[in-house]
Homo-oligomer: A and B are copies of this chain.
């Protein structure tokens, strides 16, 4: 047993450290399609913030890399360890420490899952509104990737819900940031720089998140359009109406067929309409009052009819829920279909048609297939790339990202950069910003032990 493994066992007890063949394969990968699994030197399962601080102190003293891990449901390789490194798994720090009904916040440990939190909030008629599509995901992982999901159009994303953190810096110092309030200007916002930093700046040991009243009633409206422009042109009108949709999604006809075939979702679209429909808009409304929901649904249906929808369907609640659930599983459909990579670029939502046209041209020119659907309300476009040749694929994806960036977009809307998109970041991002990010990392993690090689490599020379 190596000195490191022994020292880890001294901190957390031997039962909470695995090494060598005792390491379960699950710890060697996440759900990224392109990543290579990597066995770590050890997996350590701390039970407390004090444990985490001692683990970081040990790593800082020995130069061992630490990779934080929640549920391992990430899509960018950010929780894959480095060779010789240690996985810090937060599975034992999985307690909801507080549901504070007076301040409408929850205080959670990083290993708490979205489903666990949701179950605990239901009896209080409250909701934590981030639903990235995988309810087994951990809050710690959500904080690390700034998880998004379909409800961003109403509630924003993880960073809008995280009010404070407890986190361990790269020398093992424990800090607390923010608090149970939305308002603070007391020095730099350390909470927000840690959210979305994919484990490279600090290890999060506690988070204070916002809670909202849980609306009792929801309705799903489906509107087929003859073109993607029809869908995206409708979105600003829906937002401007003040109806306040919970989610606004577009689904292309290929994905809609896949949902029908794979999930047996029958949405009852007339065959004559279906033949013309190239793009579907799905809008979910919610309200605390059923009468208002009905009025809003009718108003929305009329609005969509006036905006060129081929037809408008108000789905029965079970069909609506099934459609959304199936839409959330788009990743699994892409994986099952043999996609080589998945992208989740974000562009200004009004630029989606222009972006998709550019993507189609690039796909054709490279002899590849690129299909997808996306969050029409927030400009986040999910694409599945089918191209077996790695070099051709890399060049295609480079160009697809470049096309979106020229429209003012960013490489990832919610999956993060991890290890799997960092080459594109190195190729396409402003070097001044990358250099600034490296200096910020050094400010948090002077020894470079926290998830090295994620988002960017330590040196400017390596990709």
Within 8 Å CB of A101, what residues of B?
Answer: 236, 240
Indicate whether A320 reaches chain B with its CB closer than 8 angstroms.
no
Q: For residue A49, give the distance in angstroms from its CB to the closest CB of chain B.
A: 14
Q: For residue A210, give the distance in angstroms from its CB to the closest CB of chain B.
A: 10
Query: Is the Cβ of B157 less than 8 Å from the Cβ of A182?
Result: yes
Indicate whether A246 reaches chain B with its CB closer than 8 angstroms.
no
Query: Is the Cβ of A349 less than 8 Å from the Cβ of B102?
Result: yes
Q: A190-B436, A430-B175, A430-B176 are in contact. Are A156 and B182 (CB under 8 A)?
A: yes
Contacting B at CB under 8 A, from A133-155, are: 145-146, 148, 152-153
Q: A103-B348, A159-B189, A185-B196 are in contact. Are A242 and B288 (CB under 8 A)?
A: yes
Within 8 Å CB of A34, what residues of B?
Answer: none
User: Which of B103, B192, B197, B201 contacts A350, CB < 8 Å?
Assistant: B103
Question: Bound complex: CA of A87 vs CA of B201, how far in Å?
Answer: 34
Question: Binding site of A, secondary structure by majority: helix, strand, loop or mixed?
Answer: loop
Indicate whether A414 reaches chain B with its CB closer than 8 angstroms.
yes
When all copies of this chain in the complex are counted, the total is: 2
Query: Is the Cβ of B411 less than 8 Å from the Cβ of A186?
Result: yes
Within 8 Å CB of A305, what residues of B?
Answer: none
Indicate whether A442 reaches chain B with its CB closer than 8 angstroms.
yes
Q: A292-B292, A440-B443 are in contact. Are A417 and B196 (CB under 8 A)?
A: no
Within 8 Å CB of A184, what residues of B?
Answer: 146, 346, 410, 412-413
Query: Is the Cβ of A188 less than 8 Å from the Cβ of B193?
Result: yes
Interface residues of A, CB < 8 Å — how many? Answer: 85
- Annotate A157-176 by CB proximity to B: 1 below 8 A, 0 otherwise: 10110000000010001111
Query: Is the Cβ of B197 less than 8 Å from the Cβ of A437?
Result: no
Question: Bound complex: CA of A210 vs CA of B387, how far in Å?
Answer: 38
Question: Bound complex: CA of A39 vs CA of B146, how far in Å?
Answer: 44
Q: For residue A215, give the distance in angstroms from its CB to the closest CB of chain B.
A: 7
Indicate whether A239 reaches chain B with its CB closer than 8 angstroms.
yes
User: Which of B152, B178, B183, B417 contacts A183, CB < 8 Å?
Assistant: B152
Indicate whether A104 reaches chain B with its CB closer than 8 angstroms.
yes
Q: List 24 A-B contacts (CB under 8 A).
A: A103-B236, A103-B349, A104-B236, A148-B183, A160-B160, A173-B432, A175-B430, A179-B408, A180-B379, A181-B348, A183-B378, A183-B380, A184-B413, A185-B198, A185-B412, A185-B413, A186-B417, A186-B429, A189-B193, A190-B433, A192-B192, A215-B242, A439-B442, A443-B443
Q: What 7 A-B pairs come out closest when comparing CB atoms?
A: A102-B350, A439-B443, A192-B192, A180-B348, A242-B288, A213-B242, A186-B410
